[in-house]
Chain A
Amino acid sequence: MPVQHDIAEDASAERDEIVAVMIDQVGRLLASEVSVERLTAMERGDAVPELWDKFAELELPLAMVPENAGGIGLDIAQGMRLIRLCGYHAAPAPLVETMLSLHLWTRAGGEPISGPMTFASPRAGRLQVESLGSRLRVYGKLRRVPWSNDGHLLAAGEGREGRAIILLPASAFEKVSRRSIANESRADVTVDLALDEPAKGVVLPIDAQAMEDVLQLGALMRAQQMVGAMQRVLDISIGYSQERAQFGRQISKFQAVQHMLASCATEYAAASAAAEQAGELWGRAGQELAVAVAKARCGEAAGHVAATAHQIHGAIAFTKEYMLHHFTRRLWSWRDEFGNETFWQSRLGHLVCTKGGAALWPLLLGEIAI
């Protein structure tokens, strides 16, 4: 046993080093490639293909695929650090969704596929799976699927045989193009397919926990992207307050502005702590509570940080030409996806009230599992 333990620890330390290198690499790549011009260009079209190619060159889509399935094998906490970085830069390509889709798909036993990929929130619809003799009918509607124009779509399904996760190429569904409040692609998708049984490599059975994980991983993804975007909004606001002068001095010298910056910092700090905690507890007993805490806390912080940052900037950030909206509109978009604050708070509240006051402290310490 001790020998195995050491091996596991070595492997984890080794991966931490890999993550540090990746964070550095991806940070530099995003800083140089994601300009305001690119973000603006994305608003007129879809994901930026050149950027996708750069991600693929670094094998980033495989970051969270297990090593034995040909991936880099980052765990959820490690992968979330990359996802946060993508939020910081508002990366205009579906890298984040692809990383997690491949994780979910390979975990269910699927083979990694190349190219962009996305997954639908189970709250945005589930596909029905019906056995028709030797054929399998898969049908249903999915609302506001992120980046579904670009590649494969992973969707949760259910039927008499149980739950499944289903991989659909872009050609296998119809879509009505829609955009989020941040102008990211969020098409409404209609699926009606007949597949030959066994639909191996397309429809994979999953259990209830794996189905729930699709929702929870999506919520954690958006939470970490929000943390990254909040940090960027804070950095932009600090910078602007030191450049902008009124009444003969930098506005950062006004106490009212300092206090607004401080309140953004505290909310972002709380969001960051909550999201990090959920990444670390993924796969453990405290996962569901921690994810609910993360999505609820990050969503609440996002609203405050976005509103306060706009107030600090004044009119300039209410324009298309200034960069702040690329981040604040993403915050307004991401907080409502994969369950908004009310959804997750309500879940948490039910769990807490069911357990009663005496359980509250042990729940906070992670001593009691739900």
Chain B
Amino acid sequence: MSTDFRFASLQLPPSAIEIRRRIRAFMREELDAGRYDPQISSWNTWDEEFTRRAGEAGFIGMVWPKEYGGSGATDLDRFVVIEEMLAHSAPCFAHWVADRQTGPQILRFGSERIKRTYLPAIAAGRCYAAIGMSEPNSGSDLASVQTRATRCSGGWRINGTKIWTSSAHRAHVMIALVRTAPANGGRHDGLTQLVIDTSVPGITCRPIYNLCGHHDFNEVHFQDYFVPDDAVLGEVGQGWKLVNHELSFERSGPDRYMSDFRLILDMVDRIGNRPDALQSVEVGRLFAHLSALRRMSAGVAGLLAQGQDPYLEAAIVKDLGTSFEQSVPEIARRLIETQPSSEDDDAYGRCYTETRLFAPGYTIRGGTREIMRGVIARGLGVR
């Protein structure tokens, strides 16, 4: 097993350099017109109007073919767009999941009807998605899902419960991992991914408020919910392979180290141009970490663009990136004295408070740190 990891420098093609100019002009216009406040937790802030404008400007689903609402842009073009949205603390949540994983998964594995139903709407910034993976008794151990789909005329009937389903109450579509056959051969067999239309009866959402006080999470119940055959992704029984494919989109992006970007920028501005000894050392350390992470994140994007499967490198970036972003509020509080309150008159104080509350989730969502370390250990050949 080789420990020569592949984090080569990324040479962006001219199209991506042009896209960077375009997305920056878009963000600049948005900011100048006061159309959005730079948000504390960019990709966890829901703003349907921002998403609609981003869609109209062609920044959502851009890598998909024209017939499905995209512009045939490259993966590296998209990489640049999401980097810039995060760097500008744009409120991206309403399209984040759909653009990052649900859309690409549908494009690759969906039927023609499903592709035509959802992709153009997502690309237009008018269709939002949720992730139907975890269940009350299946968190890290995803293969143990118990939501069941039973065969019926023309499709499947679903019964069961999904949990931690962010935005399910606002989403139009969800990809659910369900059991379509008993796990006789192995626990990874008999699983299937289905596309759920949330407007169809048989699905109910119970809100779960997170510790920040926001309603993102839901518990989602399916009762005799009908899914037609053409809403199956890939083949029946191939769900495990598909869900891992979907997770690879979820785990490899710059959203895994840039969640706190707003706090870092505000902290640097608050410190000002005469940092004390501790401030300069700690800001320097943060910059060194960011610089290495940006290089690694771009390296993974480059490998993905070449059609490779850098699962080990992606797991390394997620583990390192999420641990880094989780450490940021802990550093910030030592550099700028703050008594955290969401009602602080001071914008920096509110930014710190919000980030402090959000940070425990970073190393849990999208696969816990411990799961990532297991993936890395497997890549090192010891598991």
Contact = CB atoms under 8 A, between A and B. Distances in A.
Given A276-B7, A350-B275, A258 B383 contact: yes
Given A262-B319, A272-B5, A345-B285, A350 B380 contact: no
A265 B266 CA distance: 32
Instruction: Bin chain A's interface residue count.
Output: 35 or more
B87 interface: yes
Q: Secondary structure of the B side of the interface?
A: helix
A358 B299 CA distance: 25
B290 interface: yes
B374 to A, nearest CB: 7
A266 B265 contact: no
B280 interface: yes
A276 B9 contact: yes
Q: Secondary structure of the A side of the interface?
A: helix
Contacts of A258: 373-374, 377, 382-383
Nearest to B293: A270
Contact of B275 (A261, A344, A349): A349
A173 B200 CA distance: 87
Contacts of A300: 285, 288
B287 A349 contact: yes
B56 interface: no
A357 B285 contact: no
Interface residues of B, number: 54
A280 interface: yes
Interface in B230-283: 261, 264-269, 271-275, 277, 279-283
A345 B7 contact: no
Given A238-B380, A252-B382, A353-B280, A274 B292 contact: yes
A346 B273 contact: no
B131 interface: no
B380 A262 contact: yes
Interface string A161-197: 0000000000000000000000000000000000000
Given A261-B377, A265-B3, A350 B280 contact: yes
A273 B281 contact: no
Given A238-B1, A258-B382, A352-B268, A296 B288 contact: yes
Given A252-B382, A272-B5, A346-B277, A293 B288 contact: yes
Interface string A242-282: 10000000001101011101110111111111101100100
A221 B142 CA distance: 45
A360 B272 contact: no
B284 A345 contact: yes
B63 interface: no
B3 A234 contact: yes
B40 to A, nearest CB: 14
Contacts of B273: 353-354, 356
Given A238-B380, A258-B382, A265 B316 contact: yes
A258 B383 CA distance: 8
B151 to A, nearest CB: 39
B380 to A, nearest CB: 6
B281 A269 contact: no
A349 B9 contact: no
Contacts of B9: 276-277, 280
Contacts of A345: 280-282, 284-285, 288
A29 interface: no
A231 B1 CA distance: 13
A352 B283 contact: yes
Contacts of A257: 382
A31 to B, nearest CB: 15
Interface string A291-308: 011001100100000000
Given A344-B284, A348-B288, A364-B291, A255 B374 contact: yes
A128 interface: no
B289 interface: yes
A241 interface: yes
Contacts of A123: none
Nearest to A296: B288
Interface of A: 231, 234-235, 238, 241-242, 252-253, 255, 257-259, 261-263, 265-274, 276-277, 280, 289-290, 292-293, 296-297, 300, 341-342, 344-350, 352-354, 356-358, 360-361, 363-365
29 contacts: A238-B3, A252-B383, A255-B374, A259-B377, A262-B372, A262-B374, A262-B377, A265-B376, A265-B379, A268-B3, A269-B5, A269-B7, A269-B296, A273-B296, A274-B288, A274-B292, A276-B7, A280-B9, A289-B291, A296-B285, A300-B285, A345-B282, A345-B284, A346-B284, A353-B271, A353-B274, A357-B265, A357-B266, A361-B261
Given A253-B383, A289-B291, A364-B290, 12 more contacts: A235-B3, A259-B377, A261-B382, A262-B376, A265-B3, A273-B295, A273-B299, A292-B284, A297-B292, A342-B281, A348-B280, A356-B269
Q: Pick the 6 closest A-B CB pairs, nearest first.
A: A349-B280, A345-B284, A349-B284, A348-B284, A357-B265, A258-B377
Interface of B: 1, 3-5, 7-9, 87, 261, 264-269, 271-275, 277, 279-285, 287-296, 299, 313, 316, 319-320, 370, 372-374, 376-377, 379-383
